[in-house]
Copies of this chain bind each other. A is one copy, B any other.
Amino acid sequence: MEQSEPQVQMPEDQDKTSHDAGEPAEVVDDPALLRRREVLLGKYPGQERIRIVRPSRVSLQRVDTGLLKATEASMAPASGFGRVMYRAKRFLIGSPLANEQAVHERLTKFKALAVLSSDAISSVAYATEACMGILILAGSAALGTLIPITIAIIALLAIVALSYSQTIPAYPNGGGSYIVAKDNLGTLAGLVAAAALLIDYVLTVSVSVTSGVQNLAVIFQGLNPYIVEVDILVILIITIVNLRGIRESGSVFAIPTYFFIVSAFLMIIVGLFRGYADHAAFGHFPPVKGVETLGLFLILRAFASGCSAMTGTEAISNGVPAFKKPEPRNARITLIAMATILALLFAGITLLTMTFGIIPQNGTTVIGQIAARAFGNSPLAFMYPVFQISILLILTLAANTSYADFPRLASLLARDHFLPHQFAFRGDRLAFSIGIIFLAILAGLLEVTFNGNTDHLIDLYAVGVFISFTLSQTGMVWHWWRLRGPHWRRSIVINGLGAVTTLTVAAIITISKFALGAWVVVVLIPLLVLMFIGIHRHYTKVERERTTTIPPRPAEIRHLFIVPIAALDAVSVQSLSYARSITRNVTAVHVAIDEEDARRLRKTWREWIEQIGPEEKLELVIIESPYRSLNGPLLAYIDTVHELYPDVTLTVLLPEFVVNHWWEHILHNQTALRLKAALLFRPGIVVTNMPQHLVERTQSS
């Protein structure tokens, strides 16, 4: 057989020649096929004669010569399990959205407060309790320390908010810690901030969801044994909602957020009033015996736990571009409003704790006890369960904030080649699906690992936040120093104060919580940074390889084909035919398990060669394998040939057994699969998979 030029015409050729001549090469009476042909070739001349009875789904549309456009139908697998999975996916997350369907809503201050501050504000639901949980270790007398700690945290909040209000005008496109630190302090600082933030986003989801569900369990006591299960369910729901590609619809967020804020203030007012009316003994707690002494270290630990109230403060400065114009001004006002509300709620809840003498108890929450005391036995009694549910809702929104932040930060990192590029791809619904799924899995694992225990989670929490605060503020100091614009000195002082304060707090949290879990974060951050750098290095290398100048023309290639055969049958003849149509350099290789096997094949082969004529020059190499290994000898042979002919392109042709059921895979392909895996690590060898069904097909056609 001479290597002749195949006679197939390419779509475009055909379009220009036979069809334009009005002479269709064949009559197509299958409407689906016709439709497809039309897609590739343009209007098909014979079409008028055929009525399309059941127009098949059109998955590609012809735009122009050489330019097609995919429709939604192209995404659905045609049949089988894939189709079922696809339908399930569509049911859960909705129809795919096209690029042009992306919408961006600009937020008013009112809505922005709801969208961007649920994380920060909702933390009043657990921060006081986290703080008390430490102090109570020194007995109920130690709980008096709550007041100075609360004051310290509120002062800290003021400093951080002031500090961030300076970032807003400087980074009107969003000044996340990663960007600010990277811009001003260099990539490494940016990566540390990013690692710290990613960890904290995961923790935010776990802590918020757990705390929310615990507050629900306060009114539905039956839930208590199933906290973890309900947590996972809530995470699942948030995940699906986010995979659907949540519109940052301010209205949806506004209702639960403001409802919580209003009811919390109502609770504080009513509570303080009732405390006053009942002549409650302020700061009088039920007696609890201490197990530790009230030293400086314990107070610092309590303070560190209370700092969990501060997480989420940076959200507004990240989200400046989402504001209506003038963005910086509106963002600043919103930040001040948020800090004020947070400070008032935190102070109020601490006061109520002191007023009612509430201590942390199993099976309920501190805020739940306060709500029971404030609203219970009064015309406002209905507010108690309503308030508990509103806590769950705002905490769910807080978790949801991480579902926006984590994938967004991950996509920024991916775009800068610090994370796999997949994190930067928008999924069917324009959401960063991989980031969302990743976050959900990590948060779920945390829930299971810590068995839905907020106290333990909070020991890991806030470390990362304050590290990223510090880096961001330090970056701002540098920013002002470089620019030295108007008021640069004042700006440096403010951000410098922020940086020093947050650094101190970061140190306090790390040291006081180190043995309790903060070490995990301290170990994880450098590991993540190393991972970022490793990934970046890899991509850079690849990029260098890829962008070597485009060769001026296709290279000349000399082929050599190796065709492993199990026997001389229709399948192997098909494979040999394929190889033979490409080059004269074809060697069939057979690994013989025993000598009998080798002898038999040699005989069949000789007979076949005689039949087809020796001018075909098809070669057979038999490798006897006394140790019964198939792949080892085959690879040794391939390697030897590859080394002997370094300037020849070596192709290994493997039969691929196409099966009808997934389980049939187990019955075949094991050897071919392992061989393929082994060849994968051998540079420079082309592997061609020849479907076995090809035989049926070509024989029937």
Contact = CB atoms under 8 A, between A and B. Distances in A.
Interface of A: 1, 3, 5-12, 33, 36-37, 39-40, 59-60, 63, 66-70, 72-78, 80, 82, 96-100, 420-422, 425-428, 535, 538-539, 542, 545-560, 567-571, 573-574, 576-578, 580-585, 587, 591, 593-594, 598, 604, 608, 611-613, 616-629, 632-633, 635-637, 639-641, 643-649, 651, 656-658, 664, 666-668, 670, 678, 680-699, 701
Given A63-B624, A684-B694, A619 B8 contact: no
B695 A620 contact: no
Given A554-B612, A556-B577, A658-B680, 15 more contacts: A10-B617, A11-B641, A37-B640, A67-B621, A68-B637, A70-B623, A99-B626, A427-B628, A542-B668, A548-B699, A550-B608, A551-B577, A554-B577, A554-B581, A651-B688
B686 A693 contact: no
B6 A623 contact: no
Contacts of A70: 591, 623-627, 629, 632-633, 636
A689 B676 CA distance: 10
Contacts of A667: 420-421, 535, 538-539
B570 A554 contact: no
Given A428-B628, A583-B6, A621-B68, A554 B33 contact: no
A640 B686 contact: no
A644 B33 contact: yes
Main secondary structure on chain A at its contact with chain B? Answer: mixed
A624 to B, nearest CB: 5
Closest 6 CB pairs of A and B: A683-B693, A70-B633, A554-B577, A98-B626, A6-B558, A59-B636
A425 to B, nearest CB: 7
Nearest to A57: B636
A636 B74 contact: yes
Contacts of A428: 627-629
B539 A611 contact: no
A569 B547 CA distance: 6
A569 B557 contact: no
Question: How many copies of this chain does the complex contain?
Answer: 2
A72 B627 contact: yes
Contacts of A567: 546
User: Most B CB atoms within 10 A — which of A571, A647, A698?
Assistant: A698
Contacts of A636: 59-60, 70, 73-74
8 contacts: A10-B619, A60-B636, A82-B678, A427-B628, A546-B567, A546-B569, A548-B695, A656-B687
A74 B684 contact: no
B690 A689 contact: no
Contacts of A637: 60, 68
A270 to B, nearest CB: 52
B559 A581 contact: yes
B683 A658 contact: yes
A623 B74 CA distance: 11
Contacts of A585: 6, 8-10
Contact of A687 (B66, B73, B420, B689): B689
A498 to B, nearest CB: 37
Contacts of A617: 10
User: Most B CB atoms within 10 A — which of A1, A7, A70, A684?
Assistant: A70
Contacts of A644: 11, 33, 36-37, 40
Contacts of A691: 680, 682-687
Contacts of A66: 619-622
B555 A74 contact: no
Given A627-B97, A632-B59, A555 B698 contact: yes
A474 B698 CA distance: 50
Nearest to A591: B70
B559 A8 contact: yes
Contact of A645 (B8, B538, B632): B8
A598 B67 CA distance: 9
Contacts of A5: 3, 584
Nearest to A77: B678
Contacts of A656: 680, 687
Contacts of A547: 569-570
Contacts of A6: 557-560, 583-585, 648
A10 B646 contact: no
A370 B69 CA distance: 83
Contacts of A681: 80, 658
B556 A581 contact: yes
A227 to B, nearest CB: 27
A549 B574 CA distance: 12
Contacts of A555: 573-574, 577, 698
Given A8-B648, A664-B538, A623 B658 contact: no
A643 B546 CA distance: 34
Contacts of A685: 691
A37 B556 CA distance: 25
User: Most B CB atoms within 10 A — which of A74, A680, A695?
Assistant: A74
A1 B633 contact: no
A573 B553 CA distance: 8
User: Most B CB atoms within 10 A — which of A73, A549, A569?
Assistant: A569
Contacts of A69: 623-626
Contact of A628 (B425, B559, B583, B670): B425
Contact of A686 (B619, B666, B689): B689
A578 B553 contact: no
Contact of A696 (B97, B422, B625, B683): B683
A611 B554 CA distance: 11
Nearest to A640: B36
Nearest to A613: B553
Contacts of A689: 686-689
User: Most B CB atoms within 10 A — which of A10, A427, A583?
Assistant: A10
Nearest to A598: B67
A633 B59 contact: yes
A635 to B, nearest CB: 8
A554 B569 contact: no
A39 B587 CA distance: 16
Contacts of A535: 667
Nearest to A667: B420
A59 B635 CA distance: 10
Nearest to A428: B627
